[in-house]
Amino acid sequence: MDCDVKDLGLAEKGRERIEWAAGEMGVLALVRERFEKERPLEGIRIGACMHVTTETANLVDALKAGGAEVALCASNPLSTQDDVAAAICDQSGIDVYAIKGEDNETYYRHINAVLDHRPNVTMDDGADLVSLLHRERQDQLQEVIGGTEETTTGIIRLRAMANDGALKYPIVSVNDADTKHLFDNRFGTGQSTIDAIMRATNLLLAGRTVVVCGYGMCGRGVASRARGMGAKVVVTEVDPIRALEAAMEGYGVMPLRDAARIGDVFVTVTGDRGVIGREHLEVMRDGAVMANAGHFDVEIDKAALEGLASGKRRIREFVDEYRLADGRRLHLLAEGRLVNLAAAEGHPAAVMDMSFANQALSVEWVVKNRGLLSPGVYPVPAEIDGEVATLKLRAMRIEIDELTAEQQEYLRSWQQGT
């Protein structure tokens, strides 16, 4: 295999953890079973740029069972689980290029290594692979049938490309499936972000003030889980409807310039840059902790933090303590990168099960519709979304009611009123 991983000796540990995750991924297992029989991806080369985790290992395994040849690199320099990368390389016949903590140069060398496999389908999480392909390797674009994108930030970038007329092939927005963003973004980010903050700091959240910047699906999840741990939660927003929703949910809502003075823990989940800046750092309490759960490390202004600091030390594995001239200490987790994947294990497998079943089925859909889709961003077909929900309920042994014939008729009629 042509792999660049930290240590192949970690493969056995990775294998066991991948197997453990598989036990939580019943929907993906059913997709894999069918793929193995029908081989819908026979002859397809998939270039995947994803977080290299136990859940992703199960996804690439399902794609391979469907007949695809897969090459995989990391979608974030800090999110790779090195034992998993080793196990995928060692057992799966999949070329993996991912090392936790890789520098920027290595990160892009790894994406280029995946592109060297000349993929017909791209699978991206954040759109770095698609962006590089369109900027630097345009000669390969005509070989690509289509792609999928996992996350909100990636979709925003792809829509910007489409608006500029720059996007050259069809890409399915997996993030927009209901069975993805209503669950992964909310319950996945909610749990894994709190998990990461606790693993990194071992702080007691009860009674503390947690400031959540951004109240999209991910922010909703983080706020709700922080409240569940007994924190007083303050939400900051720029969108009046989301702010209103947070207020009626019972959270404090205020501008960050005010929240900055009272927060103990800050979590950014906005998808935008410079959310926590110098003016906020200048008024934060001694001991404040900052974590980012948005895709890129641009939400907390690290340059401003460095500029204000007179000293810096790594006080725990994922905690950098910045000492300011006035004696205050501010703490940044995981260098401002996606905290839930850097300092914990990302979303639990049971929720990635739905996201990755959508991924696998969307790849199949793209391949089936080869030549029929013009360049652009496409939603996950409603049948796929519905199938994933039905299978997940079955995996969870939950039954639901059905409409009677009379109820269906009532919903179709307009004559009956008061």
346 binds ligand ADE (CB under 6 A): yes
- Binding characters for ligand ADE, 168-207, by CB under 6 A (x = yes): --------------------x-------------------
List alpha helices for 285-413, DSSP H: 302-308, 339-342, 349-368, 382-395, 405-412
Cβ 134 to ligand ADE, closest distance in Å?
23
Cβ 344 to ligand ADE, closest distance in Å?
9
Strand residue runs (E) in 62-199: 69-74, 95-97, 121-124, 146-149, 170-173
Q: Measured from the CB atom, is 309 or 341 closer to ligand ADE? A: 341
77 binds ligand ADE (CB under 6 A): no
Q: Measured from the CB atom, is 188 or 190 closer to ligand ADE? A: 188
How far are the Cα atoms of 326, 341, 363 from residue 384, in angstroms, in the given order? Answer: 56, 27, 11
Residue type, 149: E
Cα of 185 vs its chain's centroid, Å: 7
Cβ 108 to ligand ADE, closest distance in Å?
20
Cβ 338 to ligand ADE, closest distance in Å?
8
Tokens of 108: 């892009």
The answer to whether 60 touches 73, Cβ cutoff 8 Å, is no
How far are the Cα atoms of 213, 285, 350, 386 from residue 258, in angstroms, in the given order? Answer: 12, 12, 38, 43
Residues numbered 22-61 forming contacts with ligand ADE, rule: CB under 6 A: 50-51, 53, 55-56
> Could you tell me how many residues of this chain bind ligand ADE (CB under 6 A)?
10
Give the separation between CA 328 and CA 203, rounded to whole angstroms.
Answer: 18
Residue facing ligand ADE at closest CB distance: 346
The SS3 assignment for 300 reads: strand
Length of the chain: 418
Q: Measured from the CB atom, is 80 or 236 closer to ligand ADE? A: 80
Among 94, 347, 360, 388, binds ligand ADE (CB under 6 A): 347
Residue type, 207: G
Among 10, 352, 354, 380, binds ligand ADE (CB under 6 A): 352
Q: Measured from the CB atom, is 63 or 305 closer to ligand ADE? A: 63
Residue type, 172: V
Tokens of 241: 């409807």
Cβ 180 to ligand ADE, closest distance in Å?
11
Binding site for ligand ADE (CB under 6 A): 50-51, 53, 55-56, 188, 341, 346-347, 352
